[in-house]
A and B are shown apart, each in its own frame.
Chain A
Amino acid sequence: MIAALAVSGCAGGSGNEPTAEMSAPDDSAGPSAFRAPEAPGQADSSAGLDGSEVQVRSAELGRAQEAPEPVEVRYPGIDAELPVQPRGVASDGQMDIPDDAAQAAWYQYGKAPADDVGTTVISAHAGSEETPIGPLYALKDARPGEEITVLDESGEEHRYAVTEVEQLGKDGLDFAPYFDRAGQHRLVLITCGGQWIPERNSYADNIIVVAEPAD
């Protein structure tokens, strides 16, 4: 039953529609049953059992402030510049990717460039009918030290330097290290490459570039 629910909720038929996004609650329309809003982030602290601070916050219905979304990725070393849109998970459990290789997807459930921890994952098709040779097709030619810039919706530019270039077979590939939400902040760019497998209508490998904050 849960699986069926997931399918109905995720299977956006049109490829261009963003998957579920959280929206800010509309406080102004809130019914009288709700307590008056307090300043967000308001917290006082008390001493814990071990002398540490205990976080106290209002449990009022609301939503934590989230970091600005990335809107563009620029990788001059491979002549790549792509607009970025937030995407989640497709109905088959894989990352949802825009059909057009000229558009990149940011994994919206992972971390944003302004976050201090975890990875910001940005992916795009190697090629597509609209864009036969996608900008990230050249990701296989990435080299350590090269600079990648991610622009977020607040206008801030986040600079990274490539540290790893990997070509890994898709079969059995564990993506957990690349979708990390807790470790050192990094940028991960992913596309496909390697051998074309006609029977699968797919490339055999993922090309994965890992970059760390440049400063």
Chain B
Amino acid sequence: MRKSLPLATTAVVGLAIAGSAAPAYADSHEGASAHLSVLHAVPDLPVDVYVNGELTLDDFAPGDLAGPLELPGGDYEVAITAADAEDDSEPVLGPVDLTLEEGVNYTAAAHLDADGQPTVTPFENDTSELAAGEGRLTVRHLAAAPEVDIWANGEVAVEALANPDEASLELPAGTLEAAVSLTGESDPVIGPADVAVAEGASTIVYAWGSAENGNLALATQTVEGMHSSPDGVPTGNYEVPAAQSSTGWIAGLGVLALAGVGAVAFGARAKSRA
């Protein structure tokens, strides 16, 4: 790791901690389709995923992320069955009704609730534009565990995050050392581990598994395309000596043209001006 980013404690103030079980849908979004990713975060349970009765994900394994599926906006029914099921008539989870809005990016996560029961939580992924050089880090608590603190570079960045809530912050792109502890404690139950916060993208980190069964882990998802351009390219804060004696190369061009030098349509060489 070449350089870690200091994560100021003030960042915590800027955190938006939102209950995610009932995501707030934005009023209008441009773009045609909804995007849906599916995260499997129920340990030890390979499943099949049916969307509107169609087998969409076969033998979907814990820790895997599928998608994004590009879907027309509308209502969808998602049912999750054992991996060897014949159809979706006997789901182990669901069926769950999802309303997808066009232009919105979603992740539906199958995971354990705080008490260890399988459940499905739909998240709306924030795709708002980021400043050049910055990335968005979102943490989501999907583990059968009590409230946790999220640590970044040795400091608590998110305090008392409960299953299935999320918290986001925008920070300079780079790598930070992340860890998860039970709230109020300092010994990590997950990590520490390096998390790369990609520029112009949302890096979503999921804490999943079960504290009781000792299989807590992190999963990540990246949603790209929120970058913006730098405000400028400041390459000229020193006056080049050669330019001082002339009013500019265009004037020089004119002189050359008058002198009958051909092929001046695009410009004379510095060499030929010297």
Residues of A bordering B, CB below 8 Å: 1-2, 4-6, 8-10, 17-23, 25-26, 30-31, 33-35, 46-49, 54-64, 78-79, 88-90, 92-95, 97, 101, 107, 109, 123-129, 132-134, 136-138, 140-144, 165, 170, 173-176, 178-179, 181-182, 190-196, 201-203, 206
Contact = CB atoms under 8 A, between A and B. Distances in A.
Contacts of B116: none
Nearest to B10: A1
Contacts of A129: 238
B172 interface: yes
Interface residues of B, number: 88
Given A56-B66, A132-B238, A202-B234, A25 B196 contact: yes
Contacts of A18: 2-3
B230 to A, nearest CB: 4
Q: Which of B5, B194, B225, B233 has the most CB of A within 10 A?
A: B233
Interface in B1-45: 1-3, 5-8, 10-11, 13-14, 39
B267 interface: yes
A107 B232 CA distance: 12
B106 interface: no
B98 to A, nearest CB: 13
20 contacts: A1-B14, A5-B7, A5-B11, A6-B170, A6-B172, A20-B3, A25-B193, A30-B193, A33-B191, A33-B216, A35-B217, A59-B220, A109-B133, A109-B199, A128-B238, A173-B232, A179-B227, A190-B233, A193-B236, A203-B239
Closest 10 CB pairs of A and B: A192-B236, A20-B174, A89-B133, A203-B236, A9-B172, A59-B219, A127-B240, A1-B14, A59-B65, A93-B231
A78 B215 CA distance: 60
Contacts of B39: 59
Contact of A94 (B60, B218, B231): B231
Interface in B229-254: 229-244, 248-249
Contact of B1 (A23, A141, A173, A196): A23
A201 B232 contact: no
A103 B56 CA distance: 52
A126 B232 CA distance: 15
Interface in B86-130: none
A170 B1 contact: no
Contacts of B60: 46, 56
B206 interface: yes
B175 A23 contact: yes
Interface of B: 1-3, 5-8, 10-11, 13-14, 39, 51-52, 54-58, 60, 63-67, 69, 71, 131-134, 169-175, 188-200, 205-206, 215-222, 225, 227-244, 248-249, 266-271
A124 B131 contact: no
A20 B193 CA distance: 17
Nearest to B197: A22
A55 B66 contact: yes
Contacts of A193: 236, 249
Contacts of A90: 234
B233 A94 contact: yes
Nearest to A92: B231
A174 B228 CA distance: 11
A10 B3 CA distance: 11
Nearest to B243: A196
Q: Which of A4, A23, A79 has the most CB of B within 10 A?
A: A23
Contacts of B132: 89, 93, 109
Contact of A46 (B66, B234, B249): B66
Given A25-B196, A55-B67, A202-B234, 13 more contacts: A6-B131, A22-B175, A23-B1, A33-B218, A49-B51, A56-B64, A56-B65, A78-B269, A109-B199, A127-B236, A175-B232, A179-B229, A192-B234
Contacts of A203: 236, 239
